[in-house]
Amino acid sequence: MTRVLVVDDDFHVAEINSAYVAKTPGFRVVGQAGSYAEALAAVDRGGVDLVLLDHYLPDRTGVELARELQRPEYAVDVIMVTAAQDVETVRSAVRCGALHYVVKPFTYQTLRAKLDAYARLQKTLAQDVLEGQASVDGVFQALRSSTANAPSGKGYAMPTVQLVHQVIARSRRPLSAHDVAERTGISRSTAQRYLKHLESSGRLKLVLKYGESGRPVHLYE
């Protein structure tokens, strides 16, 4: 079992992230921390393999903690789980050894894909010797996982799935099937079908907006 420390200054968010980890096979939450100091103390006590790390902490930043955890005495891995999307933070996280970067808000499927990729990496690194370029390539290939590359489902074209998902992801407000059709060039009925598929798979959230007529408008975010 991979032992996970969840670090987030919002207790409710930490509880949700912990629940996601708990229902992922092969992973077990061993603690929660709400600050840099608490997280570092938890790692110091031992028994942690992986840290799910928010960047916005009350005392110091998550990236600073990721940098500290690169010291050989800790021997833990880091996946950033944060709302920070600026290039400098992402670049710093990469330089500090973060294996993945999950942007809030996210679905269970998104985090599950990263955790599964991490598990594949650990399985690959469990070998005593890596022989040749292909074996080394396999280590890096194990990290390449994204919900955008997951199977699209029968009757759904992956390029269209990705297009619809990207349009929603880049929007600052929830969008209707009509909005998506206008922005992608596909028909409204096709947009609606793909939106329902993405919502049922957990990659989009359905929001109902009620107007004067009493009939709700289906919006997706």
The pLDDT mean for the chain works out to 87
**Residues in the chain where the model's pLDDT stays below 70:** 128, 143-154, 212-214
Buried residues in 160-182 as b, exposed as e (16+ CB within 10 A): bbebbbebbeeeeebbbbebbbe
- Specify the pLDDT at position 148: 44
pLDDT value for 104: 85
pLDDT score at 129: 74
Check residue 212 and give its pLDDT: 65
Of 90, 16, 8, residue with least CA distance to 57: 8
Residue 87, C-beta contacts closer than 8 angstroms, at least 6 positions apart: none
Provide the pLDDT for residue 33.
97
Q: Is 185 left (phi over 0), alpha (psi -120 to 50) or beta?
A: left
